[in-house]
């Protein structure tokens, strides 16, 4: 488990091996399931995403799945749920940046 404070939210990323693949959860603030992305690699990385209506967690989920599958050359499922009530644009940017930083750290840990 890796953690990072993003000002208005404490973020946490966990990963579990499922055979050779990864199941990743990235949550923060009021944790929930907001989006799920399936990433894979076959000559190039790809990702498909499902999003709960009125949520924006798909942006992080899809990019995380693309990065993980590309760098590790394996399939992954990424579940993202980060909620901060009435977050400002600056807070959202800080959360997104911290999320991708955690994803990069996770990738390095599994290389």
Taking only the tens place, the pLDDT of each residue in 66-95 is 999 999 999 999 999 999 999 999 999 999
Tell me the pLDDT band of 57, cut-offs 50, 70 and 90. Answer: very high
pTM of the model: 0.94
CATH fold of 2-110: Ribosomal Protein S5; domain 2 (3.30.230)
Q: Where are the domains of the chain?
A: 2-110
SS3 of the chain: the string is CEEEECCCCEEEEEEEEECCEEEEEEEEECCCCCEEEEEEECCCEEEEEEECCCCCCHHHHHHHHHHHHHHHCCCEEEEEEEECCCCCHHHHHHHHHHHHHHHHHHHHHHC
């Amino acid at each position: 488990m890796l953690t990072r404070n993003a000002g208005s939210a404490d973020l946490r990323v966990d990963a579990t091996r499922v055979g050779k693949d990864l199941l990743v959860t990235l949550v923060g603030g009021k944790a929930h399931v907001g989006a799920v992305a399936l990433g894979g690699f076959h000559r190039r990385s790809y990702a498909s995403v499902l999003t709960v209506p009125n949520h924006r967690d798909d942006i992080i989920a899809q990019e995380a799945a693309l990065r993980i599958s590309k760098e590790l050359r394996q399939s992954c499922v990424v579940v993202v749920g980060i909620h901060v009530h009435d977050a400002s644009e600056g807070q959202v940017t800080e959360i997104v940046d911290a999320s991708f930083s955690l994803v990069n750290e996770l990738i390095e840990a599994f290389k």
